[in-house]
Amino acid sequence: MKARSRELLDHAIAAMVAAIDVYNKPDFPYRAESFTILALNAWELLLKAKWLVMNKNRLNSLYMREGKGGKRPRYKRT
């Protein structure tokens, strides 16, 4: 089984390759917008992979905990 960080890294590479592939197609409608979305997704996945490497592949390090004792905070987090 692959480490979570390696899996995210593989997905980041695939997303960036897809972004470049879309951008290189001259007749693809909305190619700049599609490239931007895929490239941003690749960077997000790369950042998460690096974060997991720094935090020993603990997936819960990516998530924020809500208030103490399971109580919900007054404000909704987005």
pLDDT per position as a tens digit, 3-36 = 889 999 999 999 999 999 999 999 989 999 999 9
Q: Model pTM?
A: 0.75
Tell whether 67 is covered by a domain: no
- Could you count the other beta carbons within 10 Å of the beta carbon of residue 37? 14
Q: Spell out the long-range contacts of 58-64 with Cβ–Cβ below 8 A and sequence spacing 24 or more.
A: 59/4
Q: Decide: 45 and 15 in contact? Cβ < 8 Å.
A: yes
Which has the higher per-residue pLDDT, 24 or 77? 24
Asked if the model's pLDDT at residue 1 lies above 80, the reply is no
Tell whether 11 is covered by a domain: yes
Domain carrying residue 24: 4-58
Q: What is the pLDDT of residues 39-55, one digit of tens each?
A: 999 999 999 999 989 88
- Give the per-residue pLDDT at 72: 60
Tell whether 69 is covered by a domain: no
Tell whether 10 is covered by a domain: yes
- Give the per-residue pLDDT at 56: 83
Tell whether 76 is covered by a domain: no
